[in-house]
Structure 1
Amino acid sequence: MSIKCEVKSVESLACNTYRILLQPEQQLEFKAGQYLLAVMGEKDKRPFSIASSPCREGELELHIGAAEHNPYAIEVVNAMKSALESGQPFEIEAPHGDAWVREDSDKPLLMIAGGTGFSYVRSILDNCLSRGVSQPIFVYWGGRDACQLYAHDELQALAEQYSNLTYVPVVETAPADWQGKVGNVLEAVNNDFISLSSYDIYLCGRFEMAGAAREQFTAEKGAERDRMFADAFAFI
Structure 2
Amino acid sequence: MTIQCKVKSIKPLACNTYQILLHPETPVSFKAGQYLMVVMGEKDKRPFSIASSPCRHEGELELHIGAAEHNAYALEVVEAMKLALEKDGEIVIDAPHGDAWVQEESERPLLLIAGGTGFSYVRSILDHCVAQNKENDIYLYWGARDECQLYAKDELIEIAAQNGNVHFIPVIEQKADEWQGKVGNVLQAVSEDFDSLAEYDIYIAGRFEMAGAAREQFTQNKGASSDRMFADAYAFI
Using structure 2 for the length normalisation, give the TM-score.
0.99
How many Å separate the matches in 2 of 1:233 and 1:63? 21
- Cα deviation 1:63-92 (Å, max 9, x = unaligned): 000001101001000000000011111100
Provide the residue aligned with 1:44 in structure 2. Answer: 44
How many Å separate the matches in 2 of 1:194 and 1:186? 13
Provide the residue aligned with 2:158 in structure 1. Answer: 157
Provide the residue aligned with 2:140 in structure 1. Answer: 139
Provide the residue aligned with 2:204 in structure 1. Answer: 203
How many Å separate the matches in 2 of 1:15 and 1:167? 22
Deviation of 1:57 after TM superposition, in Å, equals 2.8
Residue type of the partner of 1:230?
Answer: A
Deviation of 1:226 after TM superposition, in Å, equals 0.3
Q: Are positions 1:9 and 2:12 aligned together? A: no
Provide the residue aligned with 2:26 in structure 1. Answer: 26
Provide the residue aligned with 2:171 in structure 1. Answer: 170
Provide the residue aligned with 1:219 in structure 2. Answer: 220
Deviation of 1:2 after TM superposition, in Å, equals 0.3
Percent of aligned positions that are identical: 69
Provide the residue aligned with 2:59 in structure 1. Answer: 58
Deviates more, 1:182-191 or 1:146-155: 146-155
Deviation of 1:201 after TM superposition, in Å, equals 0.2
Count of residues paired in the alignment:
236
Deviation of 1:27 after TM superposition, in Å, equals 1.2
Q: Which runs of 4+ in 1 moved over 3 A?
A: none
How many Å separate the matches in 2 of 1:182 and 1:107? 28
Residue type of the partner of 2:126?
Answer: L
How many Å separate the matches in 2 of 1:38 and 1:192? 37
- Structure 2 stretches of 5 or more lacking a match? none
- Cα deviation 1:133-189 (Å, max 9, x = unaligned): 001100000011111111111111111111110000000101111121000000000
**Equivalent residue of 2:202, what SS?**
strand
- Cα deviation 1:194-221 (Å, max 9, x = unaligned): 0000000000000000000001000000
Deviates more, 1:151-160 or 1:116-125: 151-160
**Equivalent residue of 1:217, what SS?**
helix
How many Å separate the matches in 1 of 2:175 and 2:152? 16
Q: Are positions 1:127 and 2:144 aligned together? A: no
- Structure 1 stretches of 5 or more lacking a match? none
Q: For the aligned residues, what is the CA RMSD?
A: 0.6
